[in-house]
């Protein structure tokens, strides 16, 4: 404990340097955000939210407010099941959701409950964060995966706002960076400000402890990305789904999803070999970035290969051999029209995989490359339960052989599809409830037996309107309950 305290004391000096630097650059941040807006990297209308300026009214006085923040699409989708659970259990509390990227913003806004306040997150300058927290004054902050921003964390802690890190992730690369002396002192102090860290796996938990996170705040609830594949499909998506099913009804189909720059070469080489055997084959390519899809389509058309591009509303005709989906937010629908899903972001050494659960939930035969990063724990969980649930190949040649087998053997394909769906069902059950129980016990301080029932802030925690939540926050820091059973 003495070692941890010494490092945290040094962390105070490290943060003082960080905060001073952020103050120096604050005047330039306005220009940076304007420049990013011109390049399409910030929202055309709502870009001022990145400077901490709100565009929505605050909740009514006395209404508890929980703030969930995710940087981009994957993390945002992981947060939605918990947000929905919260809204369903207690519609009388308010939820604020923020993201940092434009692509995530456009997709997630269609999936959030209508009552959720939705904004862009402030950049981590002292001015933007202080303006944001001063306006919204949340009663708790929930950061998703690896959003460890010093000004946000320390400013929240100074205001007595409880912090939680859900689906907490610490990659090998990040761990090495944070392990350097000055960074280690800063991260150890930052982690000490949390009331709850819910890691993805035991490996992640060990890394957080090595960075001097207090052991008593580390608790397992499960991987929220398993819950991503379990959303209801809205009518609009069902209509798209039925149309796409008709377009590929008489064709052999496989899909490569979340493809990064450079991985298209692997996919296209495999396609060229497969189409020699299966003349009615359609390969669906879903790049991680829409612009990449248009670049692939342009190159293939120059080679006189029949390509259909989704953003141009081009249909899959009898002559189409490659269908490129250069749109956002449609993966869940696409997984329901293909029997085979190859998950990208895993075929080049600098990459680290993507979420497999949506493909498994849809009943696809799931394949992935060798470079899967922290998704290795998801693969281990699923293959331990069902050996055939995920097929991890070593590279292009093994991928080609695996696809030949699955496209040519209906029995083998069905076994893989069934195993993936069964493994997903086994690992996804109850994860949202378990995470919610951790939130209510460690952040809202409700007794565990009531955790899945209800919550509300006590009268002295709520104070007079939204401006006096500090009493309740002090109670949290002192270990006193701030939550009473509310009932529905």
The pLDDT, as a whole number, for residue 449 is 45
**Where do the domains of the chain lie?**
2-220+445-475, 231-428
pLDDT tens profile 182-201: 999 999 999 999 999 999 88
* Active-site pick, 5, 49, 53, 75: 75
Is pLDDT at 461 greater than 60 in this prediction? no
The pLDDT, as a whole number, for residue 464 is 35
Concatenating the DSSP letter of every residue in 273-304 gives HHHHH-TTEEEEEEESSHHHHHHHHHHHHHTT
332 pLDDT band, cuts 50/70/90, is confident
236 burial (CB, 10 Å; 0-12 / 13-18 / 19+) is exposed
Average pLDDT, the chain: 88
The pLDDT, as a whole number, for residue 452 is 38
The token duo for 382 is 């699923």
pLDDT tens profile 259-270: 999 999 999 999
What is the rounded average pLDDT of the residues 103-112?
90
Concerning whether 75 is annotated as a catalytic residue, the answer is yes
Q: How far is CA 17 from CA 131, 147, 465, in A?
A: 20, 20, 35
Is pLDDT at 480 greater than 60 in this prediction? no
Cβ–Cβ < 8 Å for 382, 427: yes
Cβ–Cβ < 8 Å for 132, 52: yes
Q: How far is CA 67 from CA 79, 83, 159, 284, in A?
A: 11, 10, 14, 37
- 169/236: higher pLDDT: 169
pTM higher than 0.85 for the full model? no
167/198 Cα distance (integer angstroms): 6
1 pLDDT band, cuts 50/70/90, is low
pLDDT tens profile 426-456: 988 889 999 999 999 999 876 544 433 433 3
The pLDDT, as a whole number, for residue 234 is 66
Q: In CATH terms, is domain 2-220+445-475 a member of 3.40.50.11720?
A: yes
Coil, strand or helix at 329: coil
87 pLDDT band, cuts 50/70/90, is very high
**2-220+445-475 and 231-428 in the same fold:** yes
The pLDDT, as a whole number, for residue 232 is 62
pLDDT over 70 percentage in the chain: 90
The pLDDT, as a whole number, for residue 91 is 87
Which fold is adopted by the domain 231-428?
A: Rossmann fold (3.40.50)
Is pLDDT at 484 greater than 50 in this prediction? no
List beta partners, residue 118: 97
The pLDDT, as a whole number, for residue 374 is 86
pLDDT tens profile 119-177: 999 999 999 999 999 999 999 999 999 999 999 999 999 999 999 999 999 989 999 99
Is pLDDT at 335 greater than 90 in this prediction? yes
pLDDT tens profile 54-85: 999 999 999 999 999 999 998 999 999 999 99
């Amino acid at each position: 404990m003495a070692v941890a305290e010494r490092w945290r004391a040094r962390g105070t000096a490290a943060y003082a340097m960080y905060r001073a630097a952020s103050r120096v650059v604050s005047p330039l941040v306005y220009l940076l955000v304007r420049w990013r807006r011109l390049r399409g990297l910030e929202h055309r209308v709502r870009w001022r939210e990145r400077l901490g300026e709100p565009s929505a009214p605050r909740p009514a006085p006395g209404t508890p407010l929980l703030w969930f923040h995710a940087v981009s699409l994957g993390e945002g989708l992981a947060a939605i099941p918990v947000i929905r659970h919260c809204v369903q259990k207690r519609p009388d509390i308010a939820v604020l959701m923020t993201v940092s990227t434009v692509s995530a913003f456009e997709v997630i806004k269609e999936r959030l409950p209508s009552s959720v306040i939705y904004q862009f997150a402030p950049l981590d300058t002292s001015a933007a964060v202080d303006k944001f927290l001063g306006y919204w004054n949340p009663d708790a902050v929930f950061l998703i995966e690896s959003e460890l921003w010093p000004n946000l964390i320390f400013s929240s802690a100074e205001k007595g706002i409880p912090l939680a890190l859900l689906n907490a992730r610490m990659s090998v690369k990040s761990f090495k960076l944070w392990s350097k002396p000055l960074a280690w002192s800063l991260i150890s102090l930052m982690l000490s400000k949390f009331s709850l860290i819910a890691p993805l796996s035991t490996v992640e938990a060990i890394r957080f402890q090595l960075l001097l996170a207090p052991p008593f705040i580390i608790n397992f609830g499960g991987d929220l990305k398993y819950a991503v594949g379990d959303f209801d499909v809205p009518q609009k998506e069902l209509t798209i789904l039925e149309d796409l099913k008709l377009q590929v009804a008489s064709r052999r189909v496989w899909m490569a999803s979340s493809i990064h720059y450079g991985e298209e070469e692997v996919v296209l080489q495999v396609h060229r070999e497969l189409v020699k055997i299966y003349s009615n084959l359609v390969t669906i390519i879903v790049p991680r970035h829409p612009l990449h899809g248009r670049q692939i389509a342009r190159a293939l058309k120059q080679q006189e290969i029949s390509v259909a591009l989704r953003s141009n509303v081009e249909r899959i005709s009898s002559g189409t051999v490659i269908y490129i989906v250069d749109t956002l937010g449609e993966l869940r629908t696409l997984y329901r029209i293909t029997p085979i899903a190859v998950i990208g972001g895993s075929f080049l050494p600098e990459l680290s995989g993507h979420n497999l659960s949506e493909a498994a939930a849809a009943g696809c035969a799931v394949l992935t490359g060798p470079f899967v990063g922290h998704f290795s724990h998801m693969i281990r969980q699923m293959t331990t339960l069902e050996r055939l649930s995920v097929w991890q190949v070593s590279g292009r040649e093994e991928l080609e052989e695996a696809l030949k087998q699955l496209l040519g053997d209906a029995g083998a394909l069905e076994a893989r599809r069934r195993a993936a769906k069964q493994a997903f069902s086994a690992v996804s059950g109850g994860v949202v409830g378990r995470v919610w129980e951790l939130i209510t016990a460690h952040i809202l301080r409700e007794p565990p037996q009531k955790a899945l029932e209800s919550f509300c802030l006590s009268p002295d925690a709520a104070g007079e309107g939204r401006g006096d939540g500090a009493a309740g926050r002090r109670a949290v820091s002192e270990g006193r309950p701030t939550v009473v059973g509310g009932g529905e």
